[in-house]
Amino acid sequence: MSKNSGFHSVDFFRSVRDKLADLLSDMATDEIIAFFENQEESNNSATSDHGLAGRRSRADQPARGGVR
């Protein structure tokens, strides 16, 4: 059987897990919770449909196509 020379997902996720463990190991529980809450906001706020519709509404633009 030939060896797969492509992406190795198990190795990748193990390295991500290890990096997070190192980063979070010195934090208190409330700091860890705040860390992940901030990560979620930064990843989703710019591209979510709800956020985009809100920004368009505040700019007096239609939420989904069309002309006002």
Where are the chain's structural domains?
Answer: 10-42
CA 17 to chain centre: 15
Answer whether 35's CB lies under 8 Å from 24's CB.
yes
Which of 32-41, 44-53, 54-63 shows the highest mean pLDDT?
32-41
Question: In residues, how long is the chain?
Answer: 68
Residue of 10 and 41 predicted with greater confidence: 10
| pTM listed for this prediction | 0.43
Average pLDDT over residues 36-53: 66
- Given a cut of 60, whether residue 44 has pLDDT beyond it is no
Distance CA 37, CA 33 (A): 6
- Given a cut of 90, whether residue 15 has pLDDT beyond it is yes
* 37: nearest Cα among 27, 50, 26: 27
Average pLDDT over residues 13-41: 88
Distance CA 27, CA 25 (A): 6
